[in-house]
């Protein structure tokens, strides 16, 4: 009896051969997910170079954090040099998402070393590389434990914050039980103790900052009120200076919290035109599609949302009857929400931002005392506590809050009927707020994001109509400039996030 695998291979071969013969006569062929793995080697064998190139182009268009390492291996086997380079660059550029997948965990030791030693690895912090090593070892701990030192040689521990070295790296059992790894940790600690000018004199691969290729970015503007809740999602391409529509939300949504985390955009809670919701939808920019994940514990609209230590925090908001002080956090690793310590004050229409490992809740509206707030609270995840920091100079509900160069900006907002164009900035080092230049327009309920050293404020309303305009702040010149092109729709209460431009 013939082997089932051989029969299956033959069954594939016949239609593939037929397709290639048809191509020779018609110069037309359809490459699909189902046939590409058989078509490419067959085309190579028959030296049909156009078909081979079509297959490579198709695979390049399919690159995604979940499959790029597989495509890279396939390209390597079939000597598709250009596709191999593209898949490798893609894996480096999307490393924080790639390291979460099965393909990464199944790599050989040499393949992991090759990837994590690359200067081009795009990581917001070396923490990701350390976490990737620990995940890879733990995936098959018994057989991989002996490789711990070989891998840690490529983790740039001196570039990690001192707190992370002490609280996370030093406490990791895999480090504690390995003398070579402890030497790497001591090297990193010594590096932190040296004055800056002496640090420059240490030349080894672990003290050299990575230099990832700067990927073009796009700004995603999600939902909003125009004047009712809408499903529309717009995308601004900074390179081409133009707006495009992308996949719509599954349902109408405004007043949601929107963040970028682990390669995707999350739209959290909000208002669908009739109800405050608990639902959470996730946008994959590569596939241009939305999917739903676990809902929050509470309904929340006009909440603040931010990412800190790989957790998504949903802060305050309004549940339809009362302003909330409660705060919950979501782990994408477990797809679960859990409560953390509540704020000291109820805050709906609250702005949030993360600076140096702390989460800030800025202004908002306290339903209990019926007033807009100038107070600001700071959350420390290590102690699970909220404490007040310096007040803003003025009350702001619906302020757009963003972070640029380690400073927290509060833009616009309102105090009762008065909509503001003023902007102030908080320095956590001195616990002080100071005024900077006013925006061109009064805005409340605008979206905010930081890109390439500039702070963008998107849409909002001026108290009488929704705005389609976007302006950005340059801290070097202390000036606000309007983008020459506006969104297609005036939208208030939209959420904003920045992602790498999909291929």
Closest among 212, 253, 246 to 231, alpha carbons compared = 253
The answer to which of 6-20, 344-358, 413-427 has the lowest mean pLDDT is 6-20
Could you give the count of Cα atoms lying within 13 Å of 367 in the half-sphere of its Cβ? 16
The string of DSSP codes covering 250-275 is SS-BBS-EEEEETTEEEEEEEE-SS-
Q: Model confidence over 28-60: pLDDT tens digits?
A: 677 677 777 777 777 777 677 787 888 898 898
The torsion angles phi and psi of 221, rounded to 5 degrees, stand at: -115, 120
User: How many Å apart are CA 143 and CA 275, to the nearest integer?
Assistant: 53
Residues 433-484: pLDDT tens digits? 999 999 999 999 999 999 988 999 999 999 999 999 999 999 999 999 999 9
Tell me the average pLDDT of the chain: 90
d(CA 335, CA 124): 22
Contacts of 183 (CB under 8 A, 6+ apart): none
Whether residue 218 has pLDDT greater than 90: yes
pLDDT score at 6: 38
Rounded CA-CA distance 234/248 in Å is 9
pLDDT, position 258: 98
Q: Going by C-beta distance under 8 Å and a sequence separation of 6 or more, which residues neighbour residue 317?
A: 257, 269, 276, 298, 300, 301, 302, 303, 304, 323, 324, 347, 348, 350
Is pLDDT of 102 > 70?
yes
> At residue 268, does pLDDT exceed 70?
yes
pLDDT tens for each residue of 190-207? 888 888 777 767 778 898
Tokens found for residue 325: 């002080």
- How far apart, in whole angstroms, are the C-alpha atoms of residue 232 and residue 227? 13
pLDDT of residue 22: 61
Distance CA 159, CA 123 (A): 12
Across 257-268, average pLDDT? 94
Q: Tell whether the model's pLDDT for residue 17 goes beyond 70.
A: no
For residue 20, what pLDDT band results from cuts at 50, 70 and 90?
A: low
Predicted local confidence at residue 236, as pLDDT: 96
- Distance in angstroms (rounded) separating the CA atoms of residues 397 and 252: 24
Lowest mean pLDDT among 10-24, 225-239, 261-275: 10-24
- Taking only the tens place, the pLDDT of each residue in 370-395 is 899 999 999 999 999 999 999 999 99
Separation of CA 192 from chain center: 28
pTM attached to this predicted model: 0.73
DSSP 82-95: HHHHHHHHHHHHTH
pLDDT reading at 8 higher than 50: no
What would you report as the CA-atom Rg of the chain, rounded to the nearest whole angstrom?
A: 26
Per residue in 287-329, pLDDT tens? 899 999 999 999 999 999 999 988 999 999 999 999 999 999 9
Query: What whole-number distance in Å separates Cα of residue 62 and Cα of residue 135?
Result: 26
Of 444, 268, 296, 437, give the one whose Cα is nearest residue 363: 444
pLDDT at 23: 55
Output the pLDDT for position 52.
81
Q: Which pLDDT tens digit goes with each residue over 109-145?
A: 999 999 999 999 988 789 999 999 999 999 999 999 9
């Amino acid at each position: 009896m013939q082997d089932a695998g051989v029969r299956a291979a033959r069954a594939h071969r016949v239609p593939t051969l037929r397709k290639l013969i048809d191509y020779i006569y018609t110069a037309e062929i359809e490459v699909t997910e189902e046939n590409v793995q058989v078509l490419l080697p067959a085309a190579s064998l028959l030296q049909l170079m156009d078909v081979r190139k079509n297959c490579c182009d198709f695979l390049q268009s399919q690159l995604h954090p979940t499959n790029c390492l597989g495509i890279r291996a396939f390209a390597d086997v079939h000597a598709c040099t250009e596709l191999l380079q593209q898949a490798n660059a893609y894996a480096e550029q999307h490393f924080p998402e790639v390291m979460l997948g099965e393909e990464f965990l199944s790599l050989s030791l040499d393949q992991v070393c090759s990837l994590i030693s690359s200067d081009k690895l795009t990581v917001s912090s070396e923490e990701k590389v350390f976490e990737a090593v620990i995940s890879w070892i733990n995936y098959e701990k018994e057989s991989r434990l002996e490789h711990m030192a070989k891998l840690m040689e490529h983790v740039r521990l001196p570039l990690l914050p001192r707190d992370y070295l002490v609280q996370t790296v030093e406490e990791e059992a895999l480090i504690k039980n390995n003398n070579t790894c402890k030497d790497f940790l001591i090297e990193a600690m010594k590096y932190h103790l040296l004055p800056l000018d002496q640090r420059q004199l240490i030349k080894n691969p672990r003290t050299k900052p990575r230099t990832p290729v700067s990927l073009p970015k796009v700004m995603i503007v999600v939902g909003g009120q125009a004047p009712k809740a809408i499903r529309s999602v717009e995308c601004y391409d900074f390179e081409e200076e133009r707006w495009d529509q992308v996949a719509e939300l599954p349902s109408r949504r405004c007043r949601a919290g929107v963040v970028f985390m682990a390669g995707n955009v999350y739209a959290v809670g909000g208002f669908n035109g009739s109800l405050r919701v608990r639902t959470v939808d996730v946008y994959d920019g590569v596939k241009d599609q939305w999917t739903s994940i676990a809902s929050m514990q509470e309904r929340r609209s006009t909440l603040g949302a931010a990412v800190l230590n790989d957790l998504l925090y949903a802060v305050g908001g309004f549940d339809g009857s009362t302003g909330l002080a409660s705060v919950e956090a979501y782990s994408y690793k477990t797809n679960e929400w859990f409560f953390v310590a509540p704020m000291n004050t109820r805050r709906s229409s609250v702005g949030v931002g993360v600076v140096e490992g702390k989460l800030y809740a800025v202004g908002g509206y306290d339903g209990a005392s019926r007033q807009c707030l100038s107070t600001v609270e700071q959350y420390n995840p290590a102690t699970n506590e909220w404490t007040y920091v310096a007040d803003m100079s003025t009350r702001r509900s619906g302020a757009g809050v963003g972070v640029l160069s380690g400073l927290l900006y509060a833009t616009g907002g309102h105090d009762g009927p008065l909509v503001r164009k003023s902007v102030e900035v908080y320095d956590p080092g001195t616990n002080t707020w100071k005024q900077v230049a006013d925006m061109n327009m009064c805005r409340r309920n605008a979206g905010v994001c930081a890109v390439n050293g500039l702070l963008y404020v998107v849409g909002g309303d001026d108290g009488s109509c929704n705005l389609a305009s976007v302006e950005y702040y340059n801290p070097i010149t202390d000036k606000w400039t309007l983008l020459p092109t506006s969104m297609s729709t005036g939208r208030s209460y939209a959420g904003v996030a920045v992602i790498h431009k999909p291929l």
